[in-house]
């Protein structure tokens, strides 16, 4: 049981690390410093980790990647909405 508890703790910490970024992105709508390409590739990677977790039936991996994917997709959606605006120089 210890390996699964370690997995859940790791999932809690790594997934929890995304909450402040997702919250700030949704609240401020500021995505200028976020790379669209990186978030597209990252979301694909998380989806693949989720599929892997399902295939090996790892509950910590499944839950961590479901939650991380939702948070990361939220950031990606805001970035996608801002993709044209983010190319403009900042107004002062």
Domain ranges of the chain: 31-80
pLDDT recorded at residue 77: 95
pLDDT recorded at residue 84: 83
Q: Indicate the pLDDT class of residue 69, thresholds 50, 70 and 90.
A: very high
Tell me the average pLDDT of the chain: 90
pLDDT tens-digit readout, 8-51: 898 889 889 889 989 999 999 999 888 999 999 999 999 999 99
Comparing CA positions, the residue from 33, 29, 11, 41 lying closest to residue 74 is: 29
CATH dotted code for 31-80: 1.20.1280.290
Report the 10 Å Cβ neighbour count for 72: 21
Percent of the chain at pLDDT exceeding 70: 93
């Amino acid at each position: 049981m210890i390996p699964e508890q370690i997995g859940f703790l790791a999932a809690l910490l790594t997934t929890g690390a995304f909450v402040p970024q997702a919250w700030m992105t949704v609240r401020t709508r500021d995505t200028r410093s976020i790379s669209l390409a990186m978030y597209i590739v990252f979301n694909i990677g998380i989806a693949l980790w989720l599929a892997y977790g399902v295939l090996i039936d790892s509950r910590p991996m499944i839950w961590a990647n479901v939650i991380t994917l939702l948070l990361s997709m939220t950031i990606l959606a805001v970035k996608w909405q801002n993709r044209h605006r983010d190319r403009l120089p900042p107004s002062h």
